[in-house]
Amino acid sequence: MKQLIRLTVNDRALEVAVDPNATLVDLLRYHLGLTGTKKGCDLGDCGACTVLMDGKAVNSCLVLAVQANGRTVQTIEGLESAEGLHPLQQAFIEKGAIQCGFCSSGMILSAKELLDRMPHAQEPDIRRAISGNLCRCTGYQKIIEAIKDVAR
């Protein structure tokens, strides 16, 4: 039997009926159409599904949708504002930190959580913050450079 949950996604209050075993990643992608959140390993190992829940980076494949009841969720789609791309999104483009794009949303949201806590984070902090996000294209250096640019 479906359960009614109330949550805020990208500053939009929602009321959604979900199956008790539905994951947050499935709710975001398949029911809300927010496909920037990628579904990778389904085990919490790759970080492609990372979103911010109440400001904390979480693997949305490991969170049941019902656990998001009463919570605030931000996806990559929620970063852009009327002024344009978020500085992290812009830095990733400028530094060439985006190649295939599969890991980008998770990397950017993990970096956002870090910079919200530590606006002037140093490289060791950055490396630690993105350690749960796998990338097979960039070798991480350009990603770290992009985050360091925003941290300055």
Is 82 inside a domain boundary? no
| Number of domains into which the chain is organized | 2
Q: Position of tokens 């990397």? A: 107
Is 115 inside a domain boundary? yes
Q: Which helix (H) or strand (E) holds 72?
A: strand 72-74
Residues of the domain holding 124: 87-151
Q: Which of 37, 57, 77 delimits the end of a domain?
A: 77
92 and 138 Cβ atoms separated by less than 8 Å: no
Same domain, 91 and 64: no
Taking the C-alpha atoms of residue 89 and residue 111, their distance in angstroms, rounded to an integer, is: 10
Is 47 inside a domain boundary? yes
CATH number of residue 115's parent domain: 1.10.150.120
Is 120 inside a domain boundary? yes
Q: Which of 152, 133, 38 is nearest to 143 (CA)?
A: 133
How confident is the prediction along the chain (152 residues), in pLDDT tens digits per residue? 999 999 999 999 999 999 999 999 999 999 999 999 999 999 999 999 999 999 999 999 999 999 999 999 999 999 999 999 999 999 999 999 998 889 999 999 999 999 999 999 999 999 999 999 999 887 799 999 999 999 98
